Amino acid sequence: MTRAIPRMNEAAKCRPAGARTSRRRGLTLIEVLATIVLMGIVLPAAMQGISQCVRAASLARQKSEAAGLAEGKLNELIATGDWQFGVTSGDFGEAWPEYHWKAGTSEFTDPTLQQLSVQVYWTSRNEQRDVTLTTLVYESTSGSQ
């Protein structure tokens, strides 16, 4: 029994053994230009989104700091009884130079209670921002809440 040997064409004879038959293809100029245009559209939108996220995170940090400062000032005014002297204001010293506070009382429906509010304000991106905390205090005794 004889075995038939397959015939190879001329191109296959020139190819080294183990070489792949598929052609390797690079990017065409059109594909490169299309990619550049797509990146020109996508990158500015992505950068704008990132910029908005950074601004929102910064504002959230500032509001959180202001709320903490307002809470501390509210507790201090109640503990010292300084809230009874009317509207007071100030800053938080060198540790928080961008934040300022203002405190005042207003009447409440119950005559034995006063509504004490502390407003902490600061400027961010040329805009005045503020956080206000309010609590009730007994008018007749200082240092009580």
Let me know: does 137 contact 144? Beta carbons within 8 Å. Answer: yes
pLDDT in tens, 5-58: 666 565 555 556 555 555 667 888 999 999 999 999 999 999 999 999 999 999
Per-residue burial over 102-136, b = 16 or more CB atoms within 10 Å of its CB, e = otherwise: bbebeeeeeeebbebbbbbbbeeeeeeeebebebe
Domains and CATH numbers, the chain: 29-138 (3.30.1300)
Q: Identity (one letter) of the amino acid at 138?
A: Y
| Residues 66-102: tens digit of each pLDDT | 999 999 999 999 999 888 888 899 999 999 999 999 9
Amino acid 1: pLDDT: 60
Which residues have CB under 8 Å from 86's CB, separation 6+?
A: 104, 105
